[in-house]
Amino acid sequence: MSTATSLDYTQQPDNKDLDHIPGEYGLPWVGKAIPIMKDVYATVDDHYKRFGPVSRIRMGGQNGLLVVGGDLYQQVYLDRDKNFSTKMGYAKQLGGMYPDTILLQDFDEHKIQRRMFQGAFKNDAMRGYVDMMNPVMKHHLDQWEHIEPLVFFPSIKKTLLDVGATIFVGMEIGAEADKMSQAFLDSSEGLLGLIRMDMPGLKWHKGKEGVRYLRQLFKEMIPVRRAGDGKDTFSFLCKEKHENGEYFSDEEILNQLTFLLFAAHDTTTSALCHMVYYSAQHPEWQQKMREESLALGKPMMTYDDLDSMKITDMVFHESLRLYPSVPLMTRRTIRECELGGYRVPANTILFLPPTYNHHMPEYWTNPDKFDPERFSPARNEHKNHSFCYVPFGGGAHKCIGMHFANMLAKCFMHQFLLKYEYNTPPNYHPEMLSMPLPRPADGIPLKLKKRG
The three state secondary structure string of 27-73 is: ECCCECHHHHHHCHHHHHHHHHHHHCCEEEEEECCEEEEEECCHHHH
The distance of closest approach from Cβ of residue 194 to ligand HEM in the complex, given in angstroms and rounded to an integer, is 23
Kindly tell me the sign of the dihedral angle through the C-alpha atoms of 441, 442, 447, 448: positive
Pairwise CA distance, residues 52 & 66, whole Å:
10
Q: What are phi and psi of 85, to 5 degrees?
A: -100, 125
Kindly tell me which of 407 and 446 has the beta carbon lying closer to ligand HEM. Answer: 407
Which region, judged by CB under 6 A, interacts with ligand HEM, from 274-282, 401-409, 429-437, 439-447? 401-409
401 touching ligand HEM, by CB under 6 A: yes
- Which residues ranging from 167 to 206 are in contact with ligand HEM (CB under 6 A)? none
**Cβ neighbours for 325, distance < 8 A, ≥ 6 positions apart:** 266, 267, 268, 270, 271, 391, 437, 438
Query: Which of 161, 405, 407, 411 is in the footprint of ligand HEM by CB under 6 A?
Result: 405
Instruction: Please name which of 76, 85, 126 lies closest in space to residue 354, comparing C-alpha atoms.
Output: 76
434 touching ligand HEM, by CB under 6 A: no
326 touching ligand HEM, by CB under 6 A: yes
225 touching ligand HEM, by CB under 6 A: no
Kindly tell me which of 155 and 270 has the beta carbon lying closer to ligand HEM. Answer: 270
DSSP string, 325-354: SS--EEEEESS-EEETTEEE-TT-EEEE-H
- Which residues ranging from 70 to 109 are in contact with ligand HEM (CB under 6 A)? 86, 102-103
Query: Which of 271, 273, 350, 388 is in the footprint of ligand HEM by CB under 6 A?
Result: 271
The distance of closest approach from Cβ of residue 252 to ligand HEM in the complex, given in angstroms and rounded to an integer, is 13
Kindly tell me which of 344 and 352 has the beta carbon lying closer to ligand HEM. Answer: 352
Query: Which of 349, 400, 407, 411 is in the footprint of ligand HEM by CB under 6 A?
Result: 400
Separation of CA 125 from chain center: 21
Q: Is the separation of the CB atoms in 136 and 426 below 8 Å? A: no
> CA 327 → CA 158, 272, 427, distances in Å?
22, 15, 27
Which region, judged by CB under 6 A, interacts with ligand HEM, from 48-56, 130-138, 398-406, 425-433? 398-406
The distance of closest approach from Cβ of residue 114 to ligand HEM in the complex, given in angstroms and rounded to an integer, is 5
Pairwise CA distance, residues 69 & 340, whole Å:
10
322 touching ligand HEM, by CB under 6 A: no
Q: Is the separation of the CB atoms in 402 and 237 below 8 Å? A: no
Q: What are phi and psi of 13, to 5 degrees?
A: -70, 160
420 touching ligand HEM, by CB under 6 A: no
262 touching ligand HEM, by CB under 6 A: no
Which region, judged by CB under 6 A, interacts with ligand HEM, from 179-187, 208-216, 259-267, 287-295? 259-267
The distance of closest approach from Cβ of residue 405 to ligand HEM in the complex, given in angstroms and rounded to an integer, is 4
Distance between start and end Cα atoms, the chain: 69
Pairwise CA distance, residues 349 & 331, whole Å:
6
- Which residues ranging from 102 to 161 are in contact with ligand HEM (CB under 6 A)? 102-103, 114
Which region, judged by CB under 6 A, interacts with ligand HEM, from 176-184, 374-382, 388-396, 430-438? 388-396
Closest CB to ligand HEM: residue number = 401
Kindly tell me which of 35 and 324 has the beta carbon lying closer to ligand HEM. Answer: 324
Residue 79: CA count within 13 A, CB half-sphere: 20
68 touching ligand HEM, by CB under 6 A: no
The three state secondary structure string of 143-158 is: HHHHCCCEEHHHHHHH
The 10 Å Cβ neighbour count of residue 251 is: 11
The distance of closest approach from Cβ of residue 195 to ligand HEM in the complex, given in angstroms and rounded to an integer, is 26
Separation of CA 407 from chain center: 15
Query: Which of 323, 370, 404, 422 is in the footprint of ligand HEM by CB under 6 A?
Result: 404
Instruction: Please name which of 340, 417, 373, 404 lies closest in space to residue 76, comparing C-alpha atoms.
Output: 340
264 touching ligand HEM, by CB under 6 A: yes
Kindly tell me which of 233 and 424 has the beta carbon lying closer to ligand HEM. Answer: 233
Query: Which of 152, 392, 420, 422 is in the footprint of ligand HEM by CB under 6 A?
Result: 392
Residues in contact with ligand HEM by CB under 6 A are 86, 102-103, 114, 260, 263-264, 267-268, 271, 320, 324-326, 329, 391-393, 397, 399-401, 404-405
